[in-house]
A and B are shown apart, each in its own frame.
Chain A
């Protein structure tokens, strides 16, 4: 497997430059370190990017505690927990893929990359069902928030409604629905803003997962072609770093949105 014979005719005293080494670096190690520092800075940028959203979350939660208390009932913690487990598992396979690249285990590398990609896909499928359900119910962002059917409301929300307006029990059909939307919508609790925060945070995170799927697909092809070796695996390492931050952000999103009421 060694490539040293290919250069045996070389008359230079210097060792041959590996083909992966860019002209402005002197060693593969330095090139690897540069790429890695670049990725860490990019992750710093990512943290600040999401920080603005987390700030928005804190501001709205601070100003409208009850809105978040009621809004949380609309989210299904079981789906959130499933996705958390899926992502945590994928973080493990992502880290594993780096190890495989370092040890030049080509089959292991291809396999772990594929599993990571499939986990990301699973996450997006669960997200798809969550989103479509919310759109179906009408529990969506801002001005578009409008519940279509009393039967779609989660238990906790119904309890809250009756507690705050016992008169609801005497109403029926359209009249009751109008009263409910009045209590939950922008004239009342303003749940539209809760769902704006929910969709923006999970949506932006979802976009990051999709980007992750894109880069893992690219890594998969490169791994199949055998591009990586023990001195040249920066791409696998950096993508895994990116994937960890995507997971990490979800680790914060899950309790903030699904668990604390």
Chain B
């Protein structure tokens, strides 16, 4: 049946009508599709697999750390010394999570699906570029599997020379460098496509200030993707050439400068942190507003603070190199600039809290993730200030304090927002509802596990536990063991999610069009949407005008009010 459009009568697919999932069948029709929704779902599956792979390494390295105080360094597991295994685990954990999960995670899966729908349009502006970005992701991911097959790396995800370039086996190193290079271009193409779409495919009547804040966040993210990623691309290309031909760019023994690599690396990798967190903040704005049933507070402040974070993010990279031989003057400037990131970040948090104030808060699973986000981001963000001040940094750098800080931001915040977003848009994407009770249990496990895993690391770090060591002094045993238990609990929460979500995709109850009463345009489409997204003309309305929707007990979801459908315009326009 692979090929053209399959005409089926209504109800042929278990009572559902035609939609993007059943429009055509067969693997080929998915692989060569130009439909943003299918590409998004393929991305979602791919990044979830990456999350599980990276999570496997996390659990593995935490397991090694369980008895790091008493282990005999000569112990062998599978014929390899434990320390060697550990070094590979933390490298692969970091690299897989950063490059294959967190960076593409929210934009390429949720963003790809939701962005055109929030604009009420049929697709992204450049569908072929979108498909190419997916292919590049697959190629990069395949190369990374090659890294594993050829014995892995133990450089840390940062790949600092000289160790990375003259002390590694060539094949896995070159595979890893090309994988990250290619994944980078996948990311650039996604960002480029998003910016073009937001400029060219907004419907008449929707200005930039009428877009949902998720899109503002994606816009800021895309700017960073387009402007920062090429620098790491070039850096990795140079590193590869250095490794193969000893050209004398990064390796000191041939006249190169390893600190230059660090500058280049962090010129990308610091902004990359905002590629990870900004989309999460965008999801967060949607969750908080929807489940408080209140117009988001400080719309422009939240929107522009995304842009501000992206802009400031480009000029703070030196805070990763306070003790790497950077001049004290440069250190001071970078420290000073880093503090500025706190301002737009705090603006967002305060506005979310203000949005909740006197809202009618509904504690559905996505909202629980939203609350967890705020709590963990608060801690992650504030501890960033500890690290930004130079004197503290000299003491804390390369300790577990740093690990705990960036996991609070990257995992605590981004992973929570990713889960929140997946649950929020799951009914739209799959047309099915998940089991709310199981979802809340999983959310609780993730929250508990996460705190157990990382809170003790702050304390261990301040007491001098260095990162990237398989062994440690007796006094750190308790911290490490609590942390390992936390990692298992977190892992259990994630596995539980994967299980009930997968189950619900096939067997879950049908989702209504708008189960949450959210107001952005994607909720006017069917669940799951038609191949062309909308079957009726979209009524363009502001993203947070909740009064246009009313609960319909027959469908179990929300429907547009009659007045709105008849007049074809938002109730709020009448008030203005």
Does A37 reach chain B (CB closer than 8 Å)?
yes
Contacts of B123 in A (CB 8 A): 23-24
Does B371 reach chain A (CB closer than 8 Å)?
no
A50 CA to B126 CA in the complex, in Å? 25
Contact (Cβ within 8 A) A33 B230: no
Does B489 reach chain A (CB closer than 8 Å)?
no
Does B508 reach chain A (CB closer than 8 Å)?
no
Number of B residues with CB within 8 Å of any CB on chain A: 44
Does A149 reach chain B (CB closer than 8 Å)?
no
Contact with B along A130-145 (1 / 0, CB 8 A): 0000000000011110
Question: Nearest chain-B residue to A63 (Cβ)?
Answer: B257
Contact (Cβ within 8 A) B127 A22: yes
Contact (Cβ within 8 A) B234 A34: no
Shortest beta-carbon distance from A56 to chain B in Å: 6
Contact (Cβ within 8 A) B126 A186: no
Contact with A along B226-240 (1 / 0, CB 8 A): 111111011101100
Contact (Cβ within 8 A) B245 A141: yes
Interface size class of A (residues with CB under 8 A): 35 or more
- Would you list which residues of chain B between 201 and 247 have a CB under 8 Å from chain A? 201, 226-231, 233-235, 237-238, 241-242, 245-247
Contact (Cβ within 8 A) B196 A200: no
Contact with B along A166-207 (1 / 0, CB 8 A): 000000000000000000001000101100110110001000
Does B188 reach chain A (CB closer than 8 Å)?
yes
Contact among A38, A144, A196, A199 with B193 in the assembled complex (CB-CB below 8 Å) = A38
Contact among A37, A49, A141, A199 with B234 in the assembled complex (CB-CB below 8 Å) = A49
A38 CA to B267 CA in the complex, in Å? 24
Contact with B along A20-48 (1 / 0, CB 8 A): 00111100001001110110011011101
Contacts of B226 in A (CB 8 A): 41, 44-45
Contacts of B127 in A (CB 8 A): 22, 24
A142 and B195 in contact, given A24-B121, A49-B233, A56-B260 (Cβ under 8 angstroms) = no
Contact (Cβ within 8 A) A190 B247: no
Interface centre among A23, A30, A34 (most CB of B within 10 A): A34
* Contact stretch, chosen from B168-176, B248-256, B412-420: B248-256
Contacts of A192 in B (CB 8 A): 247-248, 254-255
Contact (Cβ within 8 A) B245 A41: no
Does B21 reach chain A (CB closer than 8 Å)?
no
Contact (Cβ within 8 A) A52 B256: no
Contacts of A60 in B (CB 8 A): 257
A38 CA to B235 CA in the complex, in Å? 24
A38 CA to B194 CA in the complex, in Å? 10
A35 CA to B197 CA in the complex, in Å? 10
Shortest beta-carbon distance from B36 to chain A in Å: 9
Shortest beta-carbon distance from A23 to chain B in Å: 6
Contacts of B270 in A (CB 8 A): none
Contact among B192, B228, B255 with A41 in the assembled complex (CB-CB below 8 Å) = B192
Does A51 reach chain B (CB closer than 8 Å)?
yes
Shortest beta-carbon distance from A156 to chain B in Å: 21
Contacts of B188 in A (CB 8 A): 45
Contacts of B227 in A (CB 8 A): 44-45, 48
Interface centre among B195, B247, B255 (most CB of A within 10 A): B255
Contacts of B193 in A (CB 8 A): 38
A142 CA to B252 CA in the complex, in Å? 11
A46 CA to B185 CA in the complex, in Å? 11
A46 and B230 in contact, given A34-B126, A143-B246 (Cβ under 8 angstroms) = yes
Shortest beta-carbon distance from A165 to chain B in Å: 20
Contact among B125, B230, B256 with A48 in the assembled complex (CB-CB below 8 Å) = B230
A224 CA to B195 CA in the complex, in Å? 33
A41 CA to B196 CA in the complex, in Å? 9
Contact (Cβ within 8 A) A199 B247: yes
Q: A34-B125, A192-B247 are in contact. List 8 more A-B contacts (CB 8 A).
A: A23-B123, A24-B201, A30-B200, A52-B231, A142-B255, A143-B245, A190-B255, A193-B248
Listed A/B pairs (7) with beta-carbon separation below 8 Å: A34-B197, A38-B192, A41-B226, A44-B227, A52-B231, A63-B257, A200-B241
